[in-house]
Chains A and B, each alone.
Chain A
Amino acid sequence: MNNPQETEKLVDELHNQPYEPMVAAEIWLVSISLFTGISILIILAFVLKN
């Protein structure tokens, strides 16, 4: 059933997302992901070019 309080909470969240600093695990996930992705990209670009 439609829950007005839950909806209110969601709308409020979308307007004013509670400040949630990035924790170490998130920073690691994003950094490792980007580092691995860009490294593979460079290696594959080199391999495919030769």
Chain B
Amino acid sequence: MQKISFNEDRSAVWLAFLFIALALCLPLGVGNLLGWVIGVKVWTDPFNALAPLSKSFSHIPGWVSLIATLAFIALLLLWERRRFAENKKAFLSALLIVLTLTMIGWVLGHAGIVAAVPNEREKLGLKWSMGLTGEAGYLAALFIGLIIGNFFTSFAKFLSQAARTEWFIKTAIVLVGAGVGLKGLEQANLAGTVFFRGLAAIVEAYLIYWALVYLMARKVFGFSREWAAPLASGISICGVSAAIATGAAIRARPVVPIMVSSLVVVFSVVELLVLPFLAHAIIPEEPMVAAAWMGLAVKTDGAAIASGAITEALYMAQGGFQKGWMLMTTTTVKIFIDLFIGVWCFILACVWVYGIDRKPGEKVSLREVWDRFPKFVIGYFIAFALFITLGLSFPDKIKELKESSTNLDAFRKFFFALAFFSIGLSADFKRLWQEGLGKLILVYVVCLFGFVIWIGLGISWLFFHGIMPPTGVTP
């Protein structure tokens, strides 16, 4: 009898849809079945870092919510792998340790001194912070995995049965679809000018940025396709999600997009600290161009929105503009970028299945195309379409849908963090960073500072110059 192997692709889609089904119980009136899930905030006092996501569960202590979340995820993952784990008790023990260590990394990454961006410092009572945003949690999870993988090898071997990088990545990407679907719908209600110009700017960014960075990585730096595609997505599009989704769509080894992503998180700090001030210095009369530029040039969501807020503060000080317009422009541009990740992954998956992975002269049947096609990309689209359709059909339920999306986002981030931990466990990242990162950094610096940010400025100028935010007191 043929042994059935565990299909991470299919399992990830089912797992993500189970989360989505539970989250949708809220707008359907059944109740907020995921509101008790743990939310991690940027903190200066660790006792204030954890709280349930929904205010309706605020009576539950953070540590109870934390334990319940870890137990819930562990049981779901165990249930998914029940037929494939040789020793279920050992698998469950390893899984619980992996989940706990990843959560520790995720919480540590939210420490104010590490994560707070400049506009949050005052609120948190900090004079200085690294400004890495909450996405530093990915690096902290990676770092913990790395320590175990390098110094506690027999323990790492035990944990490796539960550290399934691709499973975690693909589950998270389907959940990304649900989040961006709803965000896209919210943006559609914005002022027409910002909407149209933001959309046009993004189409341009994808078509020009990605192709140029890919070409540079392949022709100038001699990278293979497996490295060049995630690198192009990470540098040109939207950092972590784009690099990981692209890597999975072209079936790259998980370590490749994770290395690119860790670079993206570090570099986004440089962009966050430099670009708002550079924009204010070189285009002092064009606040909307500056805001759109932040959305196009700063790579992680958190850093881009923080850059938009800093840019707004800089221009508000000079102009008496209404608050919120510049930040809205940055956010719109950034969210449109996120929306198109799925489309781009779909295109890349098709090109790879049809044009690159196919051997010369080989005819690929539709059945084979389906078999080779990464199912999580389809899962992403279904999740995306589901949230958009629900939002359009039931506009009175937008608030509940938004809360559902927030609940799913917590799982999405945690599954990405699990992927970073698993990679730290499985690869000698220290050696890779020491010996291999130089070339990646070189491509990153040359592309980002050589043309990506300047093309971004040009595109922002073309679509937004001359448009001013309304003046006067914010209504």
Contacts and interface: CB of A to CB of B under 8 A. Distances in A.
Contact of A41 (B156, B215, B223, B462): B462
A2 B149 contact: yes
28 contacts: A1-B156, A1-B160, A2-B428, A3-B427, A7-B428, A7-B432, A10-B255, A10-B427, A13-B224, A14-B432, A14-B440, A17-B223, A17-B227, A20-B218, A20-B225, A22-B218, A24-B355, A25-B351, A29-B211, A29-B347, A33-B206, A33-B210, A34-B208, A37-B204, A40-B203, A44-B204, A44-B462, A48-B462
Interface size grouping (class) on chain B? 35 or more
A2 B426 contact: yes
B207 A36 contact: yes
Contact of B208 (A18, A23, A37): A37
B431 A7 contact: yes
Interface string B162-179: 000000000000000000
B210 A18 contact: no
A26 to B, nearest CB: 7
Contacts of A6: 255, 426-427
A9 B354 CA distance: 28
Contacts of B149: 1-2
B425 A1 contact: yes
The 6 closest A-B pairs by CB, nearest first: A25-B355, A37-B207, A14-B436, A33-B211, A7-B428, A37-B208
Nearest to B358: A25
A11 B431 contact: yes
B430 to A, nearest CB: 9
Given A6-B426, A22-B219, 9 more contacts: A1-B153, A1-B160, A2-B426, A14-B435, A15-B435, A17-B221, A17-B224, A26-B218, A29-B355
A11 B259 CA distance: 12
Listed residue (A7, A24, A30) with the most chain B CB atoms within 10 angstroms of its CB: A7
Nearest to A47: B200
Given A7-B431, A15-B439, A36-B207, A2 B156 contact: yes
Contacts of B431: 7, 11
Interface size grouping (class) on chain A? 20 to 34
Given A24-B355, A30-B214, A2 B427 contact: yes
Contacts of A28: 355
B222 interface: yes
A33 B150 CA distance: 42
Contact of B355 (A2, A4, A23): A23
A38 B204 CA distance: 8
Nearest to A22: B218
B7 to A, nearest CB: 23
A30 B439 CA distance: 22
Contact of A23 (B206, B356, B432): B356
Contacts of B215: 30
A50 to B, nearest CB: 14
A7 B143 CA distance: 16
B404 to A, nearest CB: 35
A12 to B, nearest CB: 9
B376 interface: no
A33 B160 CA distance: 40
A19 to B, nearest CB: 7
A40 B224 CA distance: 30
A26 B436 contact: no
B222 A11 contact: no
A41 B436 CA distance: 37
A38 B227 CA distance: 26
A32 to B, nearest CB: 9
Nearest to B150: A2
Contact of A34 (B160, B207, B218): B207
A2 B348 CA distance: 30
Interface in B56-85: none
A1 B211 contact: no
B387 to A, nearest CB: 28
A43 to B, nearest CB: 10
Contacts of A4: 428
A10 to B, nearest CB: 6
Given A23-B356, A48-B462, A2 B153 contact: yes
B333 to A, nearest CB: 15
A18 B222 CA distance: 8
Nearest to A21: B218
Contacts of B219: 22
Contacts of A34: 207-208, 211-212
B157 interface: yes
